[in-house]
Amino acid sequence: MKRIFYIFIFIFLLFSCAKADMGKKVEDKSSDIKVDNFYNVFGFELLNRLYDKDENVVISPFSISTALAITYEGAGGETEKEIKKVFHFPDKESLRKIYSNQLKKFDKESKEITIKISNGLWMEKSYKFREDYPERIKESYNSFAQKLDFINETEESRLKINKFIEDFTKEKIKDFIPKGMIDESTALVITNAIYFNSLWEKQFEKKYTFEEDFFVDKNKKVKCKMMSTELEKPLKYFENEKFFIVEFPYADSNFSAFFIAPKEEIKTLFPLKYSEIENSIDSMSFEKFDRISFPKFKLEKKYLLNDILIKMGMKESFTPDADFSFITDFSDLYISNVIHQSFLKVDEEGSEAAAATGVIIVKETSVMPKRILKIDKPFLFIIMEKQTGNMLFIAKVENPQFEE
């Protein structure tokens, strides 16, 4: 019943410090709709689609949304509208301001906490990009731009991107872009990487971690390592007929973990609406508990998000009809893949989490079909001496058997 714990820790620890800024309503003048906490709204919508009662899930809505925000900057027409709708983005100018403000809070390194973010544009060196696109992304999203040779050094380019992501995430995200996902048609790879590592405000003593039952549902239980500690301070808490929420703070007071536990089975929580969770968090108050216990765990997941994003409404982006006219003056770019990989570890000391998202944009190519000669029917076989034309051997092969 507590499996939902695992998912929400990562979602909320990334956003709790940004809640004040991102919680403000941003007016979308193009549609007169007020967008509230769009990163989180998308995160819960994605969670509803990834949810499976028999599997763990770990995602970083912030990472995915950031990579697609950079993609959104390069989109126009219907492509821009679709990305905006799926991710609940405000207009581009408002989005830049929001991201710039939150970056100031998402860049810390001390003995208590490390949190850092990297945005990258990996650009095919021979492709003609608009000069203002990488400059705009660099200024608004603190991104770097690096040119690679996807055509002649395809595998080397893939490995270079993967090595950067691995190093940035302290080796928590490995083999990020699978072999074969980048080829000579690749024009641009947009990456976001995030790394988080923080101590609890109140750490657990390992001697109080014991193997205990964890009740997956009313008919199934498993063993887990359950951590436990006494509490001197009250915790923020909220409870309704469906679930309870408790906040457990990290050493840096700007970050907390939130545990959301259903009263009944986990399936009763779905589908989840972010507005319901947000209102519940706003209604939390301090309550005194003598002790808190929850499992230690480590999760690693990788997702290919193409089908999900298409079903959510981002259809044109994945077709040659896509409009990325703010990236290039040509009309040949479209998204081939969106991949996301996440890592989360929770133990007695605190939490370590990392995620990376990649948007691979390719150029449409008119490649001549390859001529393949395949002999897969009975045939004649001849060995000939060419100067004389003598046929030294002739064979009719109807059943080509071979034995050592």
Q: How far is CA 366 from the centre of its chain?
A: 31
The whole-model pTM stands at 0.82
- Residue 320, helix vs strand vs coil: coil
Residue 77 within a domain: yes
d(Cα 75, Cα 314) in Å, to the nearest integer?
12
Query: Residue 334 carries which side chain, given as an amino acid letter?
Result: Y
Q: Pairing between strand 291-295 and 379-385?
A: unpaired
d(Cα 240, Cα 247) in Å, to the nearest integer?
15
pLDDT of residue 63: 92
Helices (H), strands (E): how many in the chain?
10, 18
- Looking only at Cα atoms, what is the longest distance across the chain? 102
pLDDT of residue 321: 94
Residue 188 within a domain: yes
Q: Establish how many alpha carbons lie within 13 A of residue 38's alpha carbon, considering only the half-sphere containing its beta carbon.
A: 25
Task: Could you list the beta-strand ranges (E) of 19-161.
Answer: 26-28, 33-35, 108-109, 113-124, 143-148
Reported for 48-55, long-range contacts at CB under 8 A and 24+ positions apart, including other chains, are 48/270, 48/271, 48/272, 49/308, 49/311, 49/312, 50/303, 50/308, 51/270, 53/217, 53/266, 53/267
pLDDT, tens digit (0-9, with 9 covering 90-100), for 125-155 = 999 999 999 999 999 999 999 999 999 999 9
Domain that holds residue 302: 4-200+297-363
Q: Pairing between strand 285-287 and 210-217?
A: unpaired
pLDDT of residue 396: 61
pLDDT of residue 70: 97
Averaged pLDDT in 10-residue chunks for the chain of 404 residues:
41 37 38 57 89 79 94 97 96 92 83 93 96 94 96 96 98 96 96 93 92 83 88 91 88 88 82 87 92 88 95 96 95 95 91 94 68 63 57 61 56
Residue 157 within a domain: yes
pLDDT of residue 16: 40
Angle (CA) 67 70 71, round 5°: 90
pLDDT of residue 386: 60
Q: At what angle do helices 61-73 and 92-103 cross, to 10 degrees?
A: 140
pLDDT of residue 22: 37
Number of domains within the chain: 1
CATH code for the domain of 340: 3.30.497.10
Angle (CA) 221 349 106, round 5°: 110
d(Cα 301, Cα 345) in Å, to the nearest integer?
12
- Residue 27, helix vs strand vs coil: strand
Query: Residue 99 carries which side chain, given as an amino acid letter?
Result: Y
pLDDT of residue 139: 93
Residue 64 within a domain: yes
Residue 164 within a domain: yes
CA-nearest of 34, 2, 121 to 73 is: 121
pLDDT of residue 395: 63
Q: How far is CA 219 from CA 101, 135, 216, in A?
A: 47, 57, 8
- Per residue, what are the HEC states of the chain? CCCHHHHHHHHHHHHHHHHHHHCCCEEECCCCEEECCHHHHHHHHHHHHHCCCCCCCCCCHHHHHHHHHHHHHCCCHHHHHHHHHHHCCCCHHHHHHHHHHHHCCCCEECCCEEEEEEEEEEEECCCCCCCHHHHHHHHHHCEEEEEECCCCCHHHHHHHHHHHHHHHCCCCCCCCCCCCCCCCCEEEEEEEEEEEEEEECCCCCHHHCEEEEEEEECCEEEEEEEEEEECCCCEEEEECCCEEEEEEEECCCCCEEEEEEECCCHHHHCCCCHHHHHHHHHCCEEECCCEEEEECEEEEEEEECHHHHHHHCCCHHHCCCCCCCCCCCCCCEEEEEEEEEEEEEECCCEEEEEEEEEEEEEECCCCCCCCCCCCCCCEEEEEEECCCCEEEEEEEECCCCCCC
Residue 263 within a domain: no
d(Cα 71, Cα 94) in Å, to the nearest integer?
15
pLDDT of residue 81: 97
Residue 135 within a domain: yes
Residue 378 within a domain: no
